[in-house]
């Protein structure tokens, strides 16, 4: 379903001759690529297609899920960004890619009642870039598809927020007759997403209850359990970061279960393979990613989790098709692929912009291949704290940072993304505007 809060670009409905560059997916990587190429080559050459009319930076979806970030306030309109950075925008989910004909099919855009607003379109391309991100990998776990929530999309985050708000209100109401009623939230996956969400939920629940749920006491009535299969949370990061995050989460009463593999997700429970059962009115799955199903239709090589294999120039086995970000598997080191991270998507957008620009100008590209630079990892642990390593490698040789400094650095990553798409002065204006708005809005979205 497409949320048609803005009209589709007129450009989108007109049958067109092949566009020079078509980028599918305006996320962390695709939007930056479209903005950079648009500024250089103009909207006649560059077209961005996205299933949504507005962009929200995916690493902030745990804040959207907790309600500490309002997606409608945060969302940046693609049409507006296209006008600012001179790229064309087509609204709609891509359902088919015909590599032989070099066309993509964009699904009809419907309003909230399912009434078609813009029909299905076919768009030709000379160069295609796939930047469609990833979906959750349930690893075939029984019941996960049916019962687990995910933070794959803006809609998923919003669904989680509203479900949690509803549950808290219901428990608040039920307290008079059922004093033992409580909300059990199980988060599966102790990577950055799971850890950040646990911390954010803890904070948000206290704010929501203070705003007007007199009987719901989060310290008594909300139980957050984080289940991780590895021996420690944030297993891909240095041990020191993991230990600091564990300590912080435990201080928030988050129950951490490591070395536990989830075997089944039910309507109100989560089973682990050692036989234990955890009550769960809500289960959030954040245990791994997979390439979106659309990639399977391309008849191009995929890795074992369904990401498109690309070479060092981010090109797939088809010389007219590139892939960046989470949907791609670019070679890294020790036979591994570049990790699925916003900083990788950002770097790849930067690299590919130069390469495609050279191609559009008919210039020979440099032979330099893309090299992933790990600038460290920062994990947000609520509104005032974070933890991470800077300029470090995943091997753990980074500079350890924690507390408010880490949180401020984490926030600066988001601003850097805005800077790449909006420029310095608009980003500064936006940051100040948001600070001012905080004085008139609740700290957690309540509707």
Ligand X SMILES: Cc1cc2nc3c(=O)[nH]c(=O)nc-3n(C[C@H](O)[C@H](O)[C@H](O)COP(=O)(O)OP(=O)(O)OC[C@H]3O[C@@H](n4cnc5c(N)ncnc54)[C@H](O)[C@@H]3O)c2cc1C
- Asked if residues 224 and 204 have their Cβ atoms less than 8 Å apart, the reply is no
Residue 414 in contact with ligand X, rule: CB under 6 A: no
Nearer to ligand X, 167 or 348 (CB): 348
- Asked if residues 23 and 34 have their Cβ atoms less than 8 Å apart, the reply is yes
User: What is the size of the binding site for ligand X (CB under 6 A)?
Assistant: 34
Compute the least distance from the CB of residue 410 to ligand X, in Å.
Answer: 7
User: For ligand X, which stretch binds (CB under 6 A), given 11-19, 129-137, 254-262, 393-401?
Assistant: 129-137
From CA 357, how far away is CA 342, in angstroms rounded? 22
Where do runs of H (alpha helix) occur along 49-191?
61-66, 71-74, 78-85, 144-147, 154-174
By Cβ distance, which residue is nearest to ligand X?
Answer: 27
**Single residue of 128, 132, 187, 223 touching ligand X by CB under 6 A:** 132
**Single residue of 2, 21, 22, 25 touching ligand X by CB under 6 A:** 25
Question: Which residues ranging from 354 to 393 are in contact with ligand X (CB under 6 A)?
Answer: none
From CA 205, how far away is CA 269, in angstroms rounded? 21
From CA 197, how far away is CA 47, in angstroms rounded? 34
User: For ligand X, which stretch binds (CB under 6 A), given 3-11, 322-330, 357-365, 426-434?
Assistant: 322-330
Nearer to ligand X, 76 or 132 (CB): 132
**Single residue of 9, 50, 89, 254 touching ligand X by CB under 6 A:** 50
Residue 30 in contact with ligand X, rule: CB under 6 A: yes
Residue 294 in contact with ligand X, rule: CB under 6 A: yes
Nearer to ligand X, 50 or 70 (CB): 50
User: For ligand X, which stretch binds (CB under 6 A), given 199-207, 267-275, 309-317, 323-331?
Assistant: 323-331
From CA 7, how far away is CA 10, in angstroms rounded? 8
Residue 175 in contact with ligand X, rule: CB under 6 A: no
**Single residue of 8, 71, 187, 192 touching ligand X by CB under 6 A:** 192
Residue 341 in contact with ligand X, rule: CB under 6 A: yes
From CA 282, how far away is CA 147, in angstroms rounded? 8
Helices and strands, number each (H, E), in the chain: 13, 25
**Single residue of 37, 45, 49, 195 touching ligand X by CB under 6 A:** 49
From CA 215, how far away is CA 181, in angstroms rounded? 11
From CA 227, how far away is CA 207, in angstroms rounded? 25
From CA 55, how far away is CA 189, in angstroms rounded? 25
CA geometry: angle at 335 spanning 329 and 336, to 5°? 45
Chain residues in the site for ligand X (CB under 6 A):
24-30, 49-52, 58-59, 61-62, 93-94, 131-133, 151, 192-193, 196, 292, 294, 325-327, 340-343, 345
């Amino acid at each position: 379903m497409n949320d048609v809060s803005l009209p589709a670009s007129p450009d989108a409905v007109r049958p067109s001759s092949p566009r020079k560059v078509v980028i599918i997916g305006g996320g962390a990587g695709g939007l930056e690529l479209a903005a950079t190429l648009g500024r250089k080559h103009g909207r006649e050459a560059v077209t961005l297609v996205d299933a949504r009319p507005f962009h929200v930076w995916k690493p902030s979806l745990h804040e959207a899920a907790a309600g500490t970030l309002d997606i409608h306030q945060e969302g940046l309109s693609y049409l507006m960004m296209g006008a600012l950075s001179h790229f064309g925008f087509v609204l709609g989910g891509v359902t088919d890619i015909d590599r032989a004909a070099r066309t993509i099919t964009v699904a009809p855009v419907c309003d909230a009642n399912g009434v078609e607003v813009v029909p299905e379109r076919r768009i030709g391309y000379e160069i295609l870039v796939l930047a469609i991100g990833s979906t959750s990998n349930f690893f075939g776990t029984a019941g996960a598809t049916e019962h687990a929530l995910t933070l794959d999309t803006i809609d998923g985050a919003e669904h989680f927020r509203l479900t949690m708000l509803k549950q808290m209100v219901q428990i608040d109401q039920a307290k008079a007759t059922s004093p033992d009623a409580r909300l059990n939230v199980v988060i599966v996956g102790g990577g950055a997403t799971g850890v950040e969400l646990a911390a954010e939920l803890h904070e948000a629940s206290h704010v929501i209850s203070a705003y007007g749920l007199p009987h719901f006491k989060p310290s008594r009535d909300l139980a957050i359990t984080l289940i991780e299969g590895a021996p420690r949370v944030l297993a891909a990061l240095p041990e020191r970061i993991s230990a600091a995050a564990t300590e912080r989460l435990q201080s928030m009463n988050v129950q951490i279960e490591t070395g536990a593999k989830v075997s089944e997700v039910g309507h109100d429970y989560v089973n682990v393979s050692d036989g234990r059962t955890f009550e769960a009115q809500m289960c959030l799955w954040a245990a791994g990613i997979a390439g979106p199903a659309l990639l399977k239709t391309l008849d191009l090589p995929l890795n074992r989790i369904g990401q498109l294999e690309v070479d060092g120039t981010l090109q797939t086995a088809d010389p007219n098709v590139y892939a960046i970000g989470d949907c791609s598997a670019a070679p890294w080191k020790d036979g591994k692929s570049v990790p699925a991270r916003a900083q990788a998507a950002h770097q790849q957008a930067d690299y590919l912009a130069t390469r495609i620009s050279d191609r559009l100008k008919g210039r020979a590209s440099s032979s330099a291949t893309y090299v992933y630079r790990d600038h460290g990892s920062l994990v947000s642990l609520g509104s005032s704290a974070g933890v991470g390593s800077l300029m470090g490698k995943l091997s753990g040789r980074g500079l350890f940072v924690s507390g408010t400094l880490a949180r401020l650095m984490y926030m600066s990553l988001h601003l850097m993304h805005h800077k790449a798409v909006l420029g310095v002065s608009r980003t500064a204006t936006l940051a100040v505007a948001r600070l001012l708005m905080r004085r008139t809005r609740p700290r957690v979205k309540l509707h």
